[in-house]
Amino acid sequence: MQAQIRQLLVAEMEKGHLSVGQRLPSSRRLAAILGIARNTVTSAYEQLVAEGALLSQERSGVFVASRSATPRVRLAAPAGQGTAAWQPELVVRPSTLHHISKPRDWQSYPYPFLFGQFDPGLFPIQSWRESVNAASSVSSVNEWAGDLIDEDDPELVAQLRALVLPRRGVWAAVDEVMVTIGAQQALYLAIRLLVGPGTAIAMEEPGYPDTRHMIRLTGGALHLMAVDADGAIPDAILSGCKVVVLTPGHQCPTTVTMPPERRQAMLDAVCRHGIAIIEDDYDADVFQEGPVVPPLKSTDQEGRIIYIGSLSKVLSPGLRLGYVVASAAIIRELRALRRVMLRHPPSNNQRAMAMFISLGHYRAHLRRVAQALAERATIAERFLPRHLPAVRWQRDKGATSHWIEGPAGLDARAMSVAAAAKGVLIEPGDVFFAEAARGRTCFRLGFSSIRTDRIEEGLRRLGELVC
Amino acid sequence: MQAQIRQLLVAEMEKGHLSVGQRLPSSRRLAAILGIARNTVTSAYEQLVAEGALLSQERSGVFVASRSATPRVRLAAPAGQGTAAWQPELVVRPSTLHHISKPRDWQSYPYPFLFGQFDPGLFPIQSWRESVNAASSVSSVNEWAGDLIDEDDPELVAQLRALVLPRRGVWAAVDEVMVTIGAQQALYLAIRLLVGPGTAIAMEEPGYPDTRHMIRLTGGALHLMAVDADGAIPDAILSGCKVVVLTPGHQCPTTVTMPPERRQAMLDAVCRHGIAIIEDDYDADVFQEGPVVPPLKSTDQEGRIIYIGSLSKVLSPGLRLGYVVASAAIIRELRALRRVMLRHPPSNNQRAMAMFISLGHYRAHLRRVAQALAERATIAERFLPRHLPAVRWQRDKGATSHWIEGPAGLDARAMSVAAAAKGVLIEPGDVFFAEAARGRTCFRLGFSSIRTDRIEEGLRRLGELVC
């Protein structure tokens, strides 16, 4: 409340509604007007006086000390300037890219079956606050407040190396890890480093749409690898490619975990053809269900694999923290590239995340989330056959979504519109295909975003639309 | 201390030094071993029990409940894999770019004359903590923890529009502002959107090295504009260019504030030639000294100018927050580009910064910093003529550095090495020039990073090197 009073006064002063030297109402009077305790107003006044926004003069009251300093010099509009909107020539039109559709106001829908979105109920607010407070000590602030240029918080790198990666069989030296703005930036930087106009690069079909968009932005020549029940197929497509992007942990969007035999075949093929691998392990740790299957990176002795993971997907997508593990030579280039683009991920968040991991909150959070997600998966898999008997669905252990193939006549995009009208959000599958028509009958059902007690009703409503 | 005990126990468990079921020492005994209060150990144990890392059994003690779950499946190394380091082909070599040199351990030097670095003594730790706490309420967390996809925290956008931009005469609609990972990312995204292979783009010589690097990464054709005592010169170089990057607020690195007549001439030329402007107002608000000169953007009625500013430079470079103001059509494309590259700047930091501004801390902080910087500037300008009589120096109002041209024989890069040996850090000027040899005698002296009471001695030591 005290803070709200200050916000109100600051806003009024900035807008010029309170001018310099103007006397404010007495704390008694303002308290009466607003119907709040007088000492709330008094302490708000005191704070603003301490900060120099107000002046306090004994016996006469509190006065406005600062005002909106609008510029004194004014420039005329230039001679040739029109008033109509002017359009520069653009070299790319990223707004035309075709994305996974998630309405901004998805939380207002009762049945949001979205992948990767956030259920506020699962956020560990107390332990996050403890971590942030620990990162806000004077000595911590001195360490993170400066410009790290191309480096990262050494504490977070240490926690990743000691407590996060080894559980997947990935051991990294200190110069083989870099922190990124989510796994998304790691993927972008790796593709930017390896792919230029005409570079032959393979990815899965269906696959992650943004991988395709990133390749398109670099001008790379896209080769599509077929996906079967074991994930991406290492066939003739690979020969001639310089790079392949893979999601062996959970193939995006089919959720398939690539089994050991296929992994071996893939690694053999990739080594034979001299191809670099970008391993996008985007949902590692998000949902621990059954034993951990090690990523391809755990076998990499020569630095062929650029391994990508996310921290923010586990905790909160809004935090935007991911990482990349690669050879020291590659990490050096990635750091130089990141430096030019934006320097480094905010170091206060890096430090808070380091505290979150080192205090044991990360591990405890994974356990709590796994329980909640296991319950949701069980419910979804009980009611999917009942309410959507006509579809085929797929979900491998540890995946937080179901990949659905509807009957031949289904138009999943039209269905998603009808479903939204019933309060149900799903993700149409066409966007995962370079040839969108191939995904017309498919859609994705995520269960990390929907409340456990709403899953059955959501599926029931959806079932009414799949005839 | 309690947290340190937990960090220690968590680390030992993760490393496998404490195995599942192992009994920990009693709280009394561990307290005795570590020489700390028993209740510190007790509460550390309780916290870890609550989080599931330890199990407490009545009368028998506290046991390790979880352990490092290393993967059960192991893959063999692929057939073709060597043990020597393997190198993929890279399409860029960003590590070869020539950067401004700032030693990572600059805080250990007694006389760091660096631009844009952070003096820990100026960080407003109490008001930042209040802002972070306000952003960590349950309702705030619910708003920022989700994936914003291509959007920003509406609170921060509102604060920028109401309290930050209008003081510079810039009025922006809600769809004309985007938040970025520092001004650096804003500059990168704008260049990426407007410049492709062969696009003619003009920038200042000398100018900001990273602008040159960004242009090089896009393949643009770089045209260099000469700089005089009024800043960049709008001459024939501009004809044929599609884009120009300008720093009229304080020309980087000469600190010249472009006067109104030159601004008018620049705007007229740019309109005549149909050129888009990227206005890099990187240090706006950092040091308020004298009246605010409005940016070119304040005259822009047709959306020709992409305006860039920084929030983190004012508060702490480690936070990485900046913004871009442009026409709605351009902001739409920038958002789509940012989405593919990394989604959005961390939304918890966006919210904390919104609180920082709205609570009046931003304005109060600017006042405090301005006082400290004014004192430093005064001292530097008193002792520069005394200790470095042979150099020419330049600093316009509100700049936080001096641009120095030494006598004809000076090799500033060699001098910077000699200076570092005496504990003095300076930034050699050659890196600001595309033709590095032209800057051989120049260097930059920043005073935001050096303690006020060390300026004179630092200049004295430097003076011994300029003969």
Does residue A82 carry a pLDDT above 80? no
Phi, psi of A202 (to 5 degrees): -105, 145
Please report how the helices B328-342 and A209-218 are oriented relative to each other, as an axis angle in degrees rounded to 10: 110
- Contact of A130 with A257, CB cutoff 8 Å: no
Quote the CA–CA distance of A432 and A426 in Å, as a whole number.
Answer: 14
Phi, psi of A84 (to 5 degrees): -75, 160
Chain B residues lying within 8 Å of A145, measured CB to CB: 118, 120, 123, 316-319
Q: Which residue of A has its CA nearest to B317?
A: A147
So what's the pLDDT on residue A146?
A: 84
For A154, residues 6+ apart whose C-beta sits below 8 A from its C-beta are: A174
Chain A residues lying within 8 Å of B142, measured CB to CB: 120, 123
B52 compared with A310, residue with greater pLDDT: A310
Q: Which residue of A has its CA nearest to B131?
A: A3
Quote the CA–CA distance of A356 and A363 in Å, as a whole number.
Answer: 9
**Interchain contact B44–A (C-beta under 8 A):** no
Pairwise CB contact (< 8 Å): A316 & B91: no
Does residue A34 carry a pLDDT above 90? no
So what's the pLDDT on residue A197?
A: 95
Quote the CA–CA distance of B85 and B25 in Å, as a whole number.
Answer: 46
So what's the pLDDT on residue B68?
A: 45
- Strands B54-57 and A424-425, bridge-based pairing: unpaired
Q: Between A80, A182, A264, which is nearest B76 by CB?
A: A264
Does residue A311 carry a pLDDT above 80? yes
Q: Which residue has the tokens 């299957």?
A: A293
Pairwise CB contact (< 8 Å): B148 & A270: no
**A168-220 tens-digit pLDDT:** 889 899 999 999 999 999 999 999 999 999 999 999 999 999 999 999 999 99
Quote the CA–CA distance of B36 and B2 in Å, as a whole number.
Answer: 10
Q: Which residue of B has its CA nearest to A138?
A: B125
So what's the pLDDT on residue A68?
A: 45
Chain A residues lying within 8 Å of B185, measured CB to CB: 341-342
Pairwise CB contact (< 8 Å): B260 & A73: yes
Quote the CA–CA distance of A325 and A328 in Å, as a whole number.
Answer: 9
Quote the CA–CA distance of A443 and A427 in Å, as a whole number.
Answer: 6
Give B314-382 as a 3 state SS string: HHCHHHCCEEEECCHHHHHHHHHHHHHHHCCCCHHHHHHHHHHHHCCHHHHHHHHHHHHHHHHHHHHHH
The CA dihedral of A127, A113, A293, A243, to the nearest 10 degrees, is -110
How far does the CA of residue B274 sit from the closest CA of chain A (Å)?
8
So what's the pLDDT on residue B25?
A: 87
Pairwise CB contact (< 8 Å): B217 & A167: no
Tokens of B188: 């990168």
**Interchain contact A433–B (C-beta under 8 A):** no
For range A308-315, the mean pLDDT:
94
For range A16-34, the mean pLDDT:
83
**Interchain contact B339–A (C-beta under 8 A):** yes
CB contact residues (below 8 A), chain A span 226-285, against chain B? 242-243, 260, 263-264, 267-268, 270-272, 276
Chain A residues lying within 8 Å of B144, measured CB to CB: 316, 318
In angstroms, what CA-CA distances link A359 with A132, A180, B187?
12, 22, 38
Pairwise CB contact (< 8 Å): B95 & A66: no
**Interchain contact B148–A (C-beta under 8 A):** yes
Pairwise CB contact (< 8 Å): A75 & B263: yes
Quote the CA–CA distance of B158 and B147 in Å, as a whole number.
Answer: 19
**A83-108 tens-digit pLDDT:** 667 888 888 889 888 887 778 888 89
Chain B residues lying within 8 Å of A149, measured CB to CB: 102, 104
So what's the pLDDT on residue A444?
A: 97
Structural element, H or E, at residue A178: strand A177-180
pLDDT means per 10 residues, chain B with 467 residues, are: 85 76 86 89 88 82 67 61 75 86 86 87 92 91 88 95 88 94 98 96 98 96 97 95 97 97 94 95 93 89 93 92 96 96 97 95 92 96 96 96 96 96 96 94 95 96 90
Q: Between B125, B181, B336, which is nearest A138 by CB?
A: B125
CB contact residues (below 8 A), chain B span 401-420, against chain A? none
Q: Between A120, A130, A348, which is nearest B319 by CB?
A: A348
**A359-379 tens-digit pLDDT:** 999 989 999 999 999 999 999
Pairwise CB contact (< 8 Å): A342 & B92: no
Q: Pick from B99, B103, B93, B139: which is nearest to B426 by CA?
A: B103
Average pLDDT for chain A? 91
Q: Which residue of B has its CA nearest to A186?
A: B342
Pairwise CB contact (< 8 Å): B91 & A195: yes
Pairwise CB contact (< 8 Å): B6 & A264: no
**Interchain contact B196–A (C-beta under 8 A):** yes
Q: Which of A343, A362, A368 has the most B C-beta neighbours within 10 Å, making it the best mutation to test the interface with B? A: A343
Chain A residues lying within 8 Å of B76, measured CB to CB: 264, 299
Q: Pick from B178, B467, B459: which is nearest to B336 by CA?
A: B178
So what's the pLDDT on residue B385?
A: 96
Chain A residues lying within 8 Å of B242, measured CB to CB: 88-89
Quote the CA–CA distance of B444 and B429 in Å, as a whole number.
Answer: 6
Q: Between A107, A129, A327, which is nearest B136 by CB?
A: A129
Tokens of B436: 């590095």
How far does the CA of residue A92 sit from the closest CA of chain B (Å)?
6
Quote the CA–CA distance of A33 and A13 in Å, as a whole number.
Answer: 19
For range A281-295, the mean pLDDT:
90
Q: Which of B83, B91, B310, B425 has the most A C-beta neighbours within 10 Å, making it the best mutation to test the interface with A? A: B91
Q: Exposure string (b/e) for B423-437, b if CB count within 10 Å is 16 or more?
A: ebbbbbbbbbbeeee
**Interchain contact B291–A (C-beta under 8 A):** yes
Pairwise CB contact (< 8 Å): A213 & B340: yes
Q: Between A138, A272, A336, which is nearest B94 by CB?
A: A336
Q: Which of A5, A81, A306, A323 has the most B C-beta neighbours within 10 Å, making it the best mutation to test the interface with B? A: A81
**Interchain contact A95–B (C-beta under 8 A):** yes
Burial-class residue B174 by CB neighbours within 10 Å (0-12, 13-18, 19+). Answer: exposed
How far does the CA of residue B73 sit from the closest CA of chain A (Å)?
6
How far does the CA of residue A385 sit from the closest CA of chain B (Å)?
30
Quote the CA–CA distance of A426 and A443 in Å, as a whole number.
Answer: 7
The CA dihedral of B96, B102, B105, B111, to the nearest 10 degrees, is 160
**A47-78 tens-digit pLDDT:** 888 877 888 887 888 888 854 445 555 666 66
The ipTM estimated for the assembled molecules is 0.91
**Interchain contact A85–B (C-beta under 8 A):** yes
The CA dihedral of A148, A152, A156, A157, to the nearest 10 degrees, is -150
So what's the pLDDT on residue B79?
A: 62
Q: Exposure string (b/e) for B318-344, b if CB count within 10 Å is 16 or more?
A: bbbbbbbbbbebbbbbbbbbbbbbbbb
